[in-house]
Amino acid sequence: MAFDATAFDATAFAAGIGWSALTVAVLLVLTFGCAKIAGRHNVIDTTWGLLFVGIAATTFVVSSGHGDTARRVLLLVLPALWGLRLAQHVGRRSLGKGEDPRYERLLDKAKGSRDLYALRMVYLLQGLLALVVAAPILVGGYEQAPVGGAGWILTGLGVAVWGVGVFFETVGDAQMERFRADPSHPGKVIDVGLWRYTRHPNYFGDACIWWGVFLAASAALPGVATVFAPIVMTLLLTKGSGVRILEQHMSRREGWDAYAARTSVFLPLPRKRHP
C-alpha cells in the first residue's frame, strides 16, 4: 500500500479542517448559550456526540470531488449514527437534573470569570479533542484510492469493530437504565448483562467505535497515520475522564470491592471464580 502524494489533495484537506473547526466552534457557541439558559454546563455532554456528526457532515460536503465516494459515505454514516444515538441518550438522561459535580468542581477553580474559565477549560478543550479524535474522518474524506481489493477487507473489519462498539455501548446503556429504574437498586452496583464481563461496557464500546472508524479510513494512505486518534480516545476513556473518575465515584457503593475483584475493568472477559 504505497502512498501516492498526487492522490491526496493537501490544499483541499487543509481547507476542510478549517471548515470542520468552524462547524465545531458554531456548535460550541450554541451549546454555551443553551448552558447559560439552562444554568448548567453539562449540556455540553449532549453536544459531544453532535460535534462528530457536524465534523462528519462538513467533511462529506467539502470533500466532494476530492475523495473516494464510498469511503466518504462510510465516514459520514458511522460517526453520525453513533453521535446521534449518544446525543439523544445523554440529553434524555440529563433532563430535569442539575449541574454535573465534575463541572462544579472544575469551575470552583476559576479565579476570575467562571464563564470565561468554562469556555477555555470545557468548551475549547472538548472542541480541540473532537478534532483530534475525528482525524480519521478528516483525512479519510480526501483519500482518492477506491475502496476495493484488499481495502475491502480492512474496511469490512472496521465496520465490524464499529458494530461491536455500538452493540456494547447501546446495550450497556440500556441495561444501566433498566437497573437504575428499579427502586430496589439505588446505591447498588450493576452486576447483570454485559456488566458481568466488563465494568465499563459503554466505554469499551466507545473505544471500539473509534478503532472501527480508523480502520475504515486506513484502507488507504495517509489514513494509517491517524492511528493516534483511536489511541487518544482509548486513553481518555481508560486513564482520563472515563474509567478512572467513574470508578472513584463507584468505589463508595455497596458491593463494589467484590464486583471489581471478579470483573474485568475494561476488556470483556469471563468472570473470575476465585478473585
Q: pLDDT digits over 144-162, tens only? A: 888 877 678 889 999 999 9
CB 130 within 8 A of CB 44: no
pLDDT given for residue 275 in this prediction: 55
CB 169 within 8 A of CB 202: yes
- Dist CA 69 CA 75 (whole Å): 10
Distance between first and last Cα of the chain? 46
pLDDT given for residue 107 in this prediction: 83
Cell 475525528, residue?
134
Average pLDDT of the segment spanning 158-185? 93
Tell me the pLDDT tens digit for each residue of 199-246: 999 999 999 999 999 999 998 888 999 999 999 999 999 998 888 888
Burial class (CB in 10 A: 0-12, 13-18, 19+), 164: middle
Whether this prediction's pTM lies above 0.85 is answered by yes
Residue that wins the pLDDT comparison between 9 and 207: 207
Residue that wins the pLDDT comparison between 186 and 209: 209
Q: Which amino acid, one-letter code, is at 152? A: W
- Asked if the model's pLDDT at residue 6 lies above 70, the reply is no
- Asked if the model's pLDDT at residue 1 lies above 50, the reply is no
CA atoms within 13 A on the CB side of 33: 6
pLDDT, the chain, mean = 90
- Dist CA 117 CA 41 (whole Å): 12
CB atoms within 10 A of CB 250: 16
pLDDT given for residue 217 in this prediction: 93
Tell me the pLDDT tens digit for each residue of 106-154: 888 888 888 888 898 899 999 999 999 999 999 999 998 888 776 788 8
**Diameter over CA atoms, the chain:** 63
Least confident interval from 50-54, 88-92, 147-151, 228-232: 147-151
pLDDT given for residue 180 in this prediction: 87
Tell me the pLDDT tens digit for each residue of 187-196: 788 889 999 9
Instruction: Report residue 254: phi and psi, to 5°.
Output: -60, 130
Residue that wins the pLDDT comparison between 256 and 83: 83
Helix 201-217 and helix 69-94, axial crossing angle in degrees, nearest 10: 160
3-state secondary structure of 146: coil
Q: What angle do CA 239, 244, 248 make, to 5 degrees?
A: 165
Residue that wins the pLDDT comparison between 253 and 124: 124
The DSSP symbol for 7 reads G
The DSSP symbol for 197 reads T
Residues facing 254 on adjacent strands: 188
Least confident interval from 45-49, 63-67, 243-247: 243-247
pLDDT given for residue 186 in this prediction: 79
- Asked if the model's pLDDT at residue 274 lies above 70, the reply is no
Q: What is the 3-state secondary structure (H, E, C) of 212-268?
A: HHHHHHCCCCCHHHHHHHHHHHHHHHHHCCCHHHHHHHHCCCECHHHHHHHCCCCCC
